[in-house]
A and B are shown apart, each in its own frame.
Chain A
Amino acid sequence: MVDFNKPADLFAPAPAAATPPQYLKFHASGSEYFRIWIVNLLLSIVTLGIYSAWAKVRRNQYFYSSTELAGSSFEYHGNPIAILKGRIVAAVVVGAYAFAGKVSPLLAVVMFVVMAAVIPWFIWRSLQFQLHNSAWRGIRFRFDGQLRDAYINCLLRPLLNIVTFGLATPYIYQRLKAWQFNESRFGQARFATRASVGSFYKLFGAFLLLGIVGMVVFGILFAFQAASHFAGRTPAEMAAEGISPSMFIGVALSYILILSMAPLLIALIQNLVWNNASLDRHEFRSEVRTGRMLFIIVTNILGVICTLGLFLPFAQVRMMRYRIESLMMIPEGSLDEFVATASADVNAAGEGVSDFMDFDFSL
C-alpha cells in the first residue's frame, strides 16, 4: 500500500510574529532513496534481518531530514539497538502466533486472545516511541496518552463492531485518531483536532457507496464480456478457451482499484484530521485531492508490479511527497516560542510489533 512511513511528526510550527502560512516541503528524491534502500536491503538480507533496525533508522533519518517546515528540517532520534530489541520481541510474538495456528486450533485461539490482550500495549508504546524520537528545531514531540485509553481505543471500542456488524467503524476510527492527536505534544504545546464523528461517517459512507456502485458496474461489464466471449459454447469449450485478455485486464484493474482504496481512505482521513487540527494557537490545513491521490496510488501499484518491486522506493517517495506537501501550517504568532519538556527515553517494544502489523499512525 505504499505507505508513507511515519513522518509522525508532521506536526510543527514556523517563524516569527505574523508568520505567513507555511507549507511543508519534502526534498527527498526517489533515486536517492532507491540507493539508500537497496544498500540497506542487501545488508538486511545478509544479516538475516538484524540490520533492518539500522536500515529503519537510516531511512527515517533521511525522510525526516528531507522534510522542511518554515525553513527548518525534522530529525529522527530512534536508537537502532532499541528498535532491534523491539523487532526481536515482535518476531517472537508474531512467530508464536503463526506457529500456534499450524499446531493446534485450541492453541491458536489461546494465542489470539493473548495477542488481543497485548496489542493495545504495543500500540501505546509505539506511539510513544515514534513521537519521542521525532524533533523539529531541537524540540522533541511526545505522546501523553494513558495505557487505559489505549485499551479502550484499540480493544474495547473495536468490540462494538461485533454487535453493529462493522457500522461502528467510522466512530471507532474517529475516537482512535482523536485520542492519538489530542494526546500528542510538541514540547509543551498540545495538539488537538476537532474532526467530528459525523465527518468520518460521511467519508466512510462515500467509500462504501462507491464500492457498491463500482462492483455493480464491473459485474455488469464482466457479464457482458463473458456472454459475448463464450456465446454458443459448451462448458467444456469454455473451460478450454479460458478467459479473454480483455477480461483479464478488467479483473486486474479492478483488483488494483480495490488495493487502492485503503491508502486513499487513509490519505483523505488526513484532510479530516488536519483541517480541524491545532497546536496551541496555530492551525493547519490539509489539501489532499482525491483524483490526484488515486492517480498516484494506482500508478505506484502498477509501477511496483511491472518492476517486480524495484519501483517501491520511488513509489514511497512520491506518496510521501504528495501527502506531506498537501499539509500547511497557519501560524498564529511566532514559531520561536515552543519550549521543550524533559522526558526519559522510551523503549521500542511496541515499535517492533507495529512494524510487523502495518499500523500506520503517521499524519
Chain B
Amino acid sequence: MDTPAVTGRYFDGKTSRLHRVTLTVADGMAHLAGDVERSAPLASLRVSERARHAARKVSFDDGAWLEVDDRAAFAQLLATTGHRDTGVVRAQQSWRGVLLALGVTVGVVVASYVYVLPAAAVWVANALPVKVERQMGQGVLEILDKRALGPSKLPAARQEQLRRQFAALVAPEPDAPTWKLVFRSSRIGPNALALPSGDIVMTDELVNLLKDDQAVMGVLAHELGHLHRRHLTRRLVQSSAVAAATWVIFGDISAMLTALPTVALDMKYSRDAEYEADDYAVAMLRRNGIAPEHMAQAFVKLGEASGDRMSTYLSSHPATGERIARIRAAR
C-alpha cells in the first residue's frame, strides 16, 4: 500500500547540498525519490518530535536527514504508518496536560518546601551522630575570634557565676547535648550564638545590656535550644536542598538567577529555627521556675539597642516585636 507523497529537502550528511525529494512509505520501507533515490526500513529511521513551530525531520542512521516541507501530508503519513507520539509529547501539546503538570508541579514544590524538607532535615539530623556535627564545627570559633570577637573583659568570677547558674538549670527535654559557655567581647554589637562545636558564645555587650541574670539565662536557653534541636545540621540540609531544587527548576535558564530565590526561601527556615529555639527557651525557663517575661524583656532591650525594623519576609530573624508577643503568649 503506497502512502501519499510528502515533499521535503534531503541532506545526505556528507555535504550541505540541498536535494528536493518526495517521501513515500510502502511495506515497512521508506522511499525517497527526486534529486536522490534512497530506501530504508522504517525501523531504522527516527522522526523528530512534533511541535507547532519547529521543523520536522526524519533522520537516517548514517546522519542524513530529511526536512519535511509538507507537514500536513507528513502527519497523515505518520498516522497511516502507525507512528505514535510519546506520552511526554502528547502532554506538551495539550493544554489539559500542561495545566495538570503546572498544578502538580506547584503542589509538589510547595508541599516539599513546607512539609517534606523540614521533616527530612529533622530525620537526617537525628540520624547523624552529634560527634559528626561537632567535628564540622571545629575551627569556627577560631575564625570568629579573628574576625569579629575579642577576649572577654568580664571578670573570671562573673563568668564562672553565670556558667554555674546556667549549668544548674534543667533542660526541658531529656538528653540535652553537652555545651561549653565561652565569653567574648564583640565587634558586632550585643549578641549570643551557638556553634556546631557545642560552644555557646555570650558577648560582654549582651550581658551588660541585659543587666538581668535571668534574662541572660533565657538567651542561653535559646542558644541551647539551637544545639539540642540540631538546628545547625538541619539548616545545612535545608539550604543545600533548596539550592539543589532551585537549580533543577531554574538552572536551565541561568545559574546566576538561582541565587536570589535560594536566599529568600532559606530565610523562612532560619526564622522557623529562631521560633523553635524561643519556644525551647520559654519551656526551659518555666521548668526552672523563671518567668518567661525575663526573656521577653531581653528582646525588648535588644530591639531598642538595634532599632530593629527589618521586614519579616526578607530577614533571617523574626521581627523582635513578634518574638516578644510570642513569648508572652506562651504563658
Given contacts A13-B16, A38-B98, A45-B108, contact A55 B252 (CB under 8 A): yes
Residues of chain A within 8 A of B244, CB atoms compared: 49
A222 within 8 A of B: no
A58 within 8 A of B: yes
B166 within 8 A of A: no
Q: Are A56 and B252 in contact (CB under 8 A)?
A: yes
Residues of chain B within 8 A of A187, CB atoms compared: 15-16
Q: How many A residues touch the partner, as a band?
A: 35 or more
A312 within 8 A of B: yes
Q: How many B residues touch the partner, as a band?
A: 35 or more
Q: Are A46 and B108 in contact (CB under 8 A)?
A: yes
CB distance from A57 to the nearest CB of B (A): 10
Q: Are B307 and A15 in contact (CB under 8 A)?
A: no
Residues of chain B within 8 A of A358, CB atoms compared: 254-256
Q: Are B13 and A35 in contact (CB under 8 A)?
A: no
Residues of chain B within 8 A of A137, CB atoms compared: 11, 16, 18
Residues of chain A within 8 A of B13, CB atoms compared: 138-139, 340
Residues of chain B within 8 A of A337, CB atoms compared: 15-17
A43 within 8 A of B: yes
Q: Are B256 and A235 in contact (CB under 8 A)?
A: no
Given contacts A35-B98, A45-B109, A236-B307, contact A309 B256 (CB under 8 A): no
B261: nearest chain-A partner, CB-CB: A309
0/1 per residue, A34-69, Cβ < 8 Å to B? 111011111111100100100110110110011010
Choose the segment among B99-107, B167-175, B203-211, B286-294 that binds chain A (4+ C-beta atoms closer than 8 Å).
B99-107
Q: Are A28 and B15 in contact (CB under 8 A)?
A: no
B55: nearest chain-A partner, CB-CB: A73
Q: Are B16 and A35 in contact (CB under 8 A)?
A: no
- The answer, among A39, A240, A316, for a CB contact under 8 Å with B101, is A39
Distance in angstroms between the alpha carbons of A356 and B11 in the assembled complex: 35
A245 within 8 A of B: no
Number of A-B contacts (CB under 8 A): 170
Q: Are A139 and B15 in contact (CB under 8 A)?
A: yes
Tell me the A161-213 residues at the B interface (CB within 8 Å).
Answer: 187
CB distance from B128 to the nearest CB of A (A): 13
Q: Are B257 and A65 in contact (CB under 8 A)?
A: no
B232: nearest chain-A partner, CB-CB: A102
B112: nearest chain-A partner, CB-CB: A45
Given contacts A105-B143, A337-B17, contact A41 B249 (CB under 8 A): yes
Listed A/B pairs (26) with beta-carbon separation below 8 Å: A1-B257, A27-B55, A36-B92, A38-B98, A39-B97, A44-B249, A45-B105, A45-B245, A46-B108, A56-B252, A65-B48, A65-B56, A75-B65, A98-B243, A102-B236, A138-B11, A139-B13, A187-B15, A239-B308, A239-B309, A309-B249, A316-B253, A336-B17, A338-B15, A340-B14, A358-B256
Spell out A's residues near B (CB within 8 Å): 1-3, 5, 13, 15, 27-29, 32, 34-36, 38-46, 49, 52, 55-56, 58-59, 61-62, 65-66, 68, 71-73, 75, 98, 102-105, 136-140, 187, 235-236, 239-240, 242, 262, 304, 309, 312, 315-316, 335-340, 355-358
Spell out B's residues near A (CB within 8 Å): 9, 11-18, 48-49, 51-57, 59, 63-65, 67, 88, 91-93, 95, 97-98, 101-102, 104-105, 108-109, 136, 138-139, 143, 236, 240, 243-245, 247-257, 261, 307-309
